[in-house]
Structure 1
Amino acid sequence: MLGKWSLGLCLLALIAVASFIWVSSVGVKPSYEVSKNIRYGFLVENSTAEYIEEASFRVFAPVKKNSYQQTVDITASLPFDIELDRFGNQTLVFKLSKLAPRASQIVKVTVSLQLASEPQRVLLDAEAPYLVAEENIEVDSPEINKLAEKLSSQGVKIQNIATWINQNISDVGYVAEDRGAHYAITTKQGDCTEFSSAFVALARASSIPSRMIGGFILEQSGRVQAENYHNWGEFRLDDAWHLADPQNNKIDSGYGSYIAFYNFNKHSRMSNSHRFLSYDPRLSVQML
């Protein structure tokens, strides 16, 4: 009987130790201590001379959860459905009905967030997708590989990559066309999209998992507007995604101000889209 009790206690101890190791390794209880509320809205108009029985538009909301952000609640002035993909991207789907010709409607969204002051360890998917070439992230470019090799030989890879981009690529202001990492590195110019794609391409070429993020920078609770849209990068280290914004010279800093709306990937693109919203071609949608 004593032997059975001893065996049972040993098994319980092993389970407890294994559970502790698992919790410690994946960060099941990350700390998001900064509360922030954001608001945004859209003016939606029937741009035709015809009566529309039903139409819809879709817009990204802040990502469900990442290493420095957690969405707590979403409310809106109209009913909506939420679609969540495997990358944590959330899409709000609004359906409008009985729109008279040239009629318009304002849709307002409010989101409650909890933000972290430093990266939190979270459950992550495989590294492989964040190391390969994709559209505008030309990891297989000889010029990108040559520069990555040079920067990797000079010490801390991430800091070297970010510093080179910040000091060598000129900000030309907003450009509607996404030109990619190769364009940014060879012409040494671009907007926030080129800065972030250059970072991701150089990081991946240096064997550091990385990805592009789209969203907003907001110091305090308040309204986000289209002109404040921004792209930055993230790199993966110690079971967490760390922030990298070489355009603004912020590497592994700025937490609590960056609000991610979109983890860029080829599987979550919207059709008939502009930045992070998509809509019926009969509609005109403007972010307020």
Structure 2
Amino acid sequence: MTFSKMLTWSFLLLLWGSLAGCENAQTEQPLDRIRATFFDPQHYVVAHEGLPIGTYTRVASLTDTDEYEFRTTLTMPSANGLILATDAVYQFQKRSPYLLSAATRTTYTVSKDRPYRVEQLYPFATSDVDRPANEASKKKYGLQDFFALELALMANIESVEGELVSVPTPFHKNVKSTKWTISYRGDQSVMVSSTVGDRATFSFQQGLPRLEELIDDTGLSMQWISVVDFDALNLRPLHVVEDIRIPVDQPIERPGTLTTLTVQFEFDDAKLGPWSTLLDARNTLTTSTEIKPSSLELFEWGGELLDRSTAQKLRPIVAEAIKGIDDAQLIVDTLVAYVNRTITYKNWNTLQSVEETIAQKIGDCTEFAQLFTALATAAELPTRTVVGLAYHESSQTFGIHAWNEVLFEDGSTRIVDPTWNQIRADATHIEFPPAYQHEIVSTLKNLRIKVLKVEHSTDHST
């Protein structure tokens, strides 16, 4: 599932989950029933091929401007290890015909306040040229349109099968509506399927339909859970749970001294997925250890993600490790060596905090990289944890790995790998493209790598 489809999916979930029970949006009585059901948060666990990977929450409120606001939050891990949350907020006029007044979508990392992607979904534009079109759209969409599926389920409560309703999708670029059909009806539930391959199961609570489960055509699903179960969730990233190895057509000799690597990606199902943004027409890419200017915005660096209290606790450790060194490049070298000699590597599928890593002094590449990010950030060096593929000489395969990138005052960056004690990470380190983590993992299971070109340096430091 791509970012764009995920966000469209999130919008559809809002439609299905928020106004369950509108028998007639033009009357006050259904609105009173709605208040009793959707003003309490509803929680769902998001899974990929049966493995829980995220959460979805929806809640409604009445704004200070006397409008109904519906907010959904979809939280899932990205390929680079950050936890991304997407808030979709829709506001409707309180009185009939309950027209849409505004809609926004904001994406941010869970551990910081400032969002890095804000989309104004509605109004679509503010120019004089587009104003007539906007006014026409405003008159077209109201609560009845947005919650057509629940309305249809209640209106056809005795129906067994057949076409049910067309649900408007006003913010989709290509699809204007989606047709839903009843595929099964039990005593207390009903299953419906859509023309785009989605399947949903609703239960009836006091005559009101509630979404219990949604499954799309990519293997992604969403299932209702209680507040107690939601609070007890302990989700682990897919790269922690699964040890995936990517076969290579030939061994790479002396990978630790590799300065340039050119490889070709071969997928069994010919689907590149998110990798299309990195690969050329021949499905090849080249990595290098050369110093390069940063192409990332400042907000993507780990310095903004470190908790202040944790940073304060780490500063004495940093001071002891660097022993008065004030050169940024040497500080990085010193911290790489410190993490490598302090933490004992353990191949496991457990996640722990930075403080737990310091206390227990064990971890895998994830803990090594996260500790380095924390220490470098405490030393006032903008640093981020990177997740991608790297060549494992012992198994002669590529595997999921975590390392670091440091940003210096002159705008240049350096890749380091504290797990392998590399002050300049070798060229086999391939960062994942921007995507949700489950999208990447799905492609890795069908991937083979062909080595086209390698370059070594005898002066390469590790």
Task: Give the alignment's TM-score, normalised by structure 2.
Answer: 0.34
Residue correspondence of structure 1 range 1-288 to structure 2 within 5 A? 54=197, 55-56=217-218, 76=267, 78=269, 80=271, 111-126=283-298, 129-134=301-306, 138=307, 140-141=309-310, 142-155=312-325, 156-173=330-347, 175-218=348-391, 225=398, 228-237=399-408, 238-254=410-426, 256-261=427-432, 269-270=436-437, 273=438, 276-277=440-441, 286=445
| Distance of 1:164 and 1:45 partners within structure 2 | 39
Shift of 1:143: 3.3
Structure having greater relative contact order (Cα 8 Å, sep ≥ 6): 1
Shift of 1:73: 8.6
**Kindly tell me: are residues 81 and 252 of structure 1, through their superposed partners in 2, closer, same or farther at Cα, counting changes over 3 Å?**
closer
Look up the equivalent residue of 2:431 and give its one-letter code. Answer: A
| Distance of 2:430 and 2:388 partners within structure 1 | 6
Shift of 1:170: 0.4
Shift of 1:197: 0.3
Does the 8 Å contact 2:301/2:383 carry over to 1?
A: no
Task: Give the alignment's TM-score, normalised by structure 1.
Answer: 0.52
Shift of 1:124: 3.8
1:226-263 Cα shifts (integer Å, max 9, x gaps): xx211111111232321111111101242x22111157
Shift of 1:210: 0.5
Q: Over aligned residues, Cα RMSD in angstroms?
A: 4.5
**Kindly tell me: are residues 198 and 214 of structure 1, through their superposed partners in 2, closer, same or farther at Cα, counting changes over 3 Å?**
same
Look up the equivalent residue of 2:402 and give its one-letter code. Answer: N
Q: Mark the structure with the bigger radius of gyration.
A: 2
**Kindly tell me: are residues 193 and 117 of structure 1, through their superposed partners in 2, closer, same or farther at Cα, counting changes over 3 Å?**
closer
Shift of 1:193: 0.4
Task: Give the match for residue 252 of structure 2.
Answer: none
Look up the equivalent residue of 2:302 and give its one-letter code. Answer: Y
Which portions of structure 1, spanning 4 or more consecutive aligned residues, are displaced by more than 6 angstroms?
68-75
**Does the residue aligned with 2:316 lie in a helix, a strand or coil?**
helix
Does the 8 Å contact 1:181/1:201 carry over to 2?
A: yes
* Unaligned runs of at least 5 residues, structure 1: 1-43, 47-51, 61-67, 93-109, 280-284
**Kindly tell me: are residues 122 and 209 of structure 1, through their superposed partners in 2, closer, same or farther at Cα, counting changes over 3 Å?**
closer
**Kindly tell me: are residues 57 and 74 of structure 1, through their superposed partners in 2, closer, same or farther at Cα, counting changes over 3 Å?**
farther
Does the 8 Å contact 1:124/1:239 carry over to 2?
A: no
Does the 8 Å contact 2:357/2:367 carry over to 1?
A: yes
Q: Percent of aligned positions with the same letter in both sequences?
A: 19
| Distance of 1:251 and 1:230 partners within structure 2 | 16
**Does the residue aligned with 2:403 lie in a helix, a strand or coil?**
strand
Q: Which moved more, 1:153-162 or 1:187-196?
A: 153-162
| Distance of 1:71 and 1:140 partners within structure 2 | 43
* Unaligned runs of at least 5 residues, structure 2: 1-47, 51-193, 198-216, 221-237, 240-258, 448-462
User: Across the two proteins, how many residue pairs are aligned to each other?
Assistant: 192
**Kindly tell me: are residues 149 and 269 of structure 1, through their superposed partners in 2, closer, same or farther at Cα, counting changes over 3 Å?**
farther
Does the 8 Å contact 1:166/1:247 carry over to 2?
A: yes
Does the 8 Å contact 1:218/1:257 carry over to 2?
A: yes
**Does the residue aligned with 1:207 lie in a helix, a strand or coil?**
coil
**Kindly tell me: are residues 72 and 163 of structure 1, through their superposed partners in 2, closer, same or farther at Cα, counting changes over 3 Å?**
closer
Does the 8 Å contact 1:214/1:262 carry over to 2?
A: no
Task: Give the match for residue 40 of structure 1.
Answer: none
